[in-house]
Structure 1
Amino acid sequence: MSLAISAMPPKYVSAITKSPLSALIRQERTSFNQATQEAITTMQFNTFITALGLFAPASALLRFGCASLTVQRLDPLVNPGMNPSAHLHQIIGGDSFNASMPPESHDLPGLSTCTSCQFSEDFSNYWTAVIFYRAKNGTFKRVPQVAQAGIDGTQGGMMVYYMTDALFDTAQKSTVQAFKPGFRMLVGDAMFRDREQARKFRQLTYICMENQGTRAPETIGFPTKPCPGGIMANHRFPTCWDGKNLDSPNHQDHVAYPESGTFESGGPCPATHPVRLPQILLETVWDTRAFNNLDPQDFANGKQPFVWSTGDATGYSSHADYLFGWKDNSLQKAMDGHTYVSAPMLKTQSIAQQNKCKVPDMVKENIDGWLTALPGANPVV
């Protein structure tokens, strides 16, 4: 039994072990043919299989938890040097995180003294916006994050994946080039409020969770019904690089999606971006359970009460940032090592050690309790 399965609650283990992988693949592939949104349907299967941990030990895939490093209005990628930045973020990774992290001088592994991630050689920083509940009286309450099954005790944070192939490809023969020092990128757009705009980014989705094992269906907007297990936000980064630039003015043009299909469907990289990168997937579970029954009108007539810290009530502004910071060539060794979930060539640390890694509050504003406005006074639109 894989480490991922052994860490899961017994009721999920029983269900998993009674379902052969081949049957699951046939079942999910059948659902692919019936779906109207091919890319999102593929992601349902991939995330589902990832969560269950059904792959052979030869898979080249990392899956690890990271505790919360800090929650504050800083964004060294989009708003470098600005304190505070435009909207609130939740951040994980190395403790060298700061308002300003210029790539030419800020060496993440060299300047960090700890990381909130399981693999202690990963001093990268990853961050997303924050979800708030909006009450009918116009006040806001920050929604907490909850750890997934298998990393119980982790304070907030996210689950992080690095993959070399589609999750249902058990051969896992592809090679990828690890990111270079100074590499950074952004996926999504904080200003998007329209479904057609959101389609530009193929793999930013939500799952309305019934329980810890729920991994489908995925939507590109906020769920419009109460979610008994919380809301999972998924952020998948582009996987093709131009091979030259560690960044670009909009933090997106130096990377691209496959020319056709998705990373999971094996689509080739375009000629302009020929270098195949690992796919990074971030899973954040927002614990919305306490808000499900506060107001019977919250979910009436297709409405829902949650907003991103950007002021977005649609869910279409979902975005995530990444600053590479693995020590030496540790990530490349792991990607070349045909690992699955745990990687013996990487050093790990305890959840208690992860939880201890924090950075000080540099913004000094109230983000807890009931707020009369979102941090930064962002209007809800």
Structure 2
Amino acid sequence: MKWITARALALVVPVQAGLRFQCSTLTIQRLDPVVQPGSNPSAHVHHIVGGNAFNATMEGDVSTRATCTTCEFPEDLSNYWTAALYFKHQNGSYHRVPVIPVNPGNLDGYSGTVGGITVYYTQNDLIRDTIAQNPVKTFPPGFRMTVGSPTNTGAPHVGLRYQCLSVGGGRGREMPDFPTTPCAGGIFVTNHFPACWNGKDLDSPDHQSHMYNTITMDGFVAAPACPASHPVRMPQVTYETVWDTSKFNSMWPSGAPNPFVWSFEGVNGKGTHADYMFGWKGDALQRAMNKSECFYDGCGSLQKQQMATANKCTVKDMVGEVTDGWLDKLPGM
């Protein structure tokens, strides 16, 4: 995805609404209520943001069980997560890579994000003249989906990309795999979900078949209409995560292969993946998606909370294992 600022994006597609907001880290532990519901622990460590209803098992309308969220919009009690990133030392030990905000320090006045993910909900996969015929319909309670797969070693998945950051935060070209040389400012990872729903299933056995991706390139681009098999146009969900790999660069010998791995021992970056569980209260998200000519600010229908408040939202450690510091092996391996 070629980076476009929120202001530039709003100018390019003025007839489309969108949200862009920060979520602080909620927890980092080995749970996955979408792919491995009920398993405690799950197979590998995840970095999770969002509502405090997060648990090993999550069914039904999670917005009725969560009481707070680490995201800027208090009506968003959804959960968003990806695999955690680790540095693998030449001696065979592992250290978890910390997460830093995409825009450290300040984002439109909402400062104080701790770690976390930047989340997008946009209409930007829509061709403008199809919006009236196929308006965006938001997710129903209980909806969930994934994108990507830890077992993927083949062609890179559309919308799952890496970028090297400079010290000042500048972003290099997009890559389908891990960078092959150290990144001075960290590694920027994008997870771009499909936006066409079959209109029936809240989930599917592979957590992906109930959705369909009509884009063939990366980014917030105009997309063809949804197919008859998946006729419902949903908001385009995207995550952006910055992994602060800079502190490990001195331990990356010149000319050596990439030393970073996903928590499933994923040395192949094409295995990057993400999970989503819808949890907005009532029609809050639909109200925002019904608006036009606005971007990021809630579209006049959503109120924000200060990140100092969001950061007070927590969940307990339900697994009880060490996931950070120098480890002899990855948790679960």
TM-score, L = length of structure 1: 0.80
- Aligned with residue 253 of structure 1, among 209, 231, 242: 209
Pairing 1:177–2:137 present: yes
- Aligned with residue 159 of structure 1, among 118, 123, 133: 118
Pairing 1:241–2:197 present: yes
Quote the offset at 1:202 in angstroms.
Answer: 0.9
Quote the offset at 1:274 in angstroms.
Answer: 1.1
Distance, in Å, in 1 between the alignment partners of 2:127 and 2:174 is: 17
Distance, in Å, in 1 between the alignment partners of 2:289 and 2:39 is: 35
Distance, in Å, in 2 between the alignment partners of 1:54 and 1:75 is: 33
Q: 1:127 to 1:288 in 2, by over 3 A?
A: same
Deviations 1:275-300 (A, max 9, x none): 11111010000001101112424xx1
Deviations 1:191-245 (A, max 9, x none): 22x232xx3x311111111145534411111011111111011001011111111
- Aligned with residue 74 of structure 2, among 109, 120, 126: 120
- Aligned with residue 179 of structure 2, among 223, 241, 251: 223
Q: Which residue of 1 aligns with 2:248?
A: 291
Quote the offset at 1:59 in angstroms.
Answer: 4.1
Q: Which residue of 2 aligns with 1:50?
A: 5
SS of equivalent residue, structure 2 residue 269: coil
Q: For the Cα contact (< 8 Å) 2:169–2:185, is it kept in 1?
A: no
Q: 1:78 to 1:226 in 2, by over 3 A?
A: same
SS of equivalent residue, structure 1 residue 49: coil
Q: For the Cα contact (< 8 Å) 2:31–2:41, is it kept in 1?
A: yes
TM-score, L = length of structure 2: 0.91
Quote the offset at 1:314 in angstroms.
Answer: 1.5
1:190 alignment partner AA: P
Quote the offset at 1:67 in angstroms.
Answer: 0.3
Q: 1:94 to 1:212 in 2, by over 3 A?
A: farther
Q: Percent identity?
A: 47
Quote the offset at 1:109 in angstroms.
Answer: 1.2
Q: Which residue of 1 aligns with 2:146?
A: 186
User: What RMSD over aligned residues (CA atoms) do the two structures have, in Å?
Assistant: 2.3
Quote the offset at 1:50 in angstroms.
Answer: 3.4
Distance, in Å, in 1 between the alignment partners of 2:260 and 2:180 is: 10
Quote the offset at 1:317 in angstroms.
Answer: 1.0
Distance, in Å, in 2 between the alignment partners of 1:180 and 1:53 is: 31
Moved runs in structure 1, 4+ residues, more than 4 A? 51-54, 166-169, 171-174, 259-263
- Aligned with residue 48 of structure 2, among 69, 72, 91: 91
Quote the offset at 1:148 in angstroms.
Answer: 2.2
Deviations 1:48-106 (A, max 9, x none): 11366552476401000000010000000111111000000010111000001123xxx
Q: For the Cα contact (< 8 Å) 1:309–1:374, is it kept in 2?
A: yes
Q: For the Cα contact (< 8 Å) 1:64–1:118, is it kept in 2?
A: yes
Quote the offset at 1:248 in angstroms.
Answer: 0.7
Pairing 1:202–2:169 present: no
Q: 1:58 to 1:275 in 2, by over 3 A?
A: closer
Q: How many residues align?
A: 322
5+ residue gaps, structure 1? 1-42
Distance, in Å, in 1 between the alignment partners of 2:121 and 2:16 is: 11
Q: Greater helix percent: which structure?
A: 1
Q: For the Cα contact (< 8 Å) 2:125–2:236, is it kept in 1?
A: no
Distance, in Å, in 2 between the alignment partners of 1:142 and 1:261 is: 31
SS of equivalent residue, structure 1 residue 202: coil
2:93 alignment partner AA: T
Q: Which residue of 2 aligns with 1:333?
A: 287
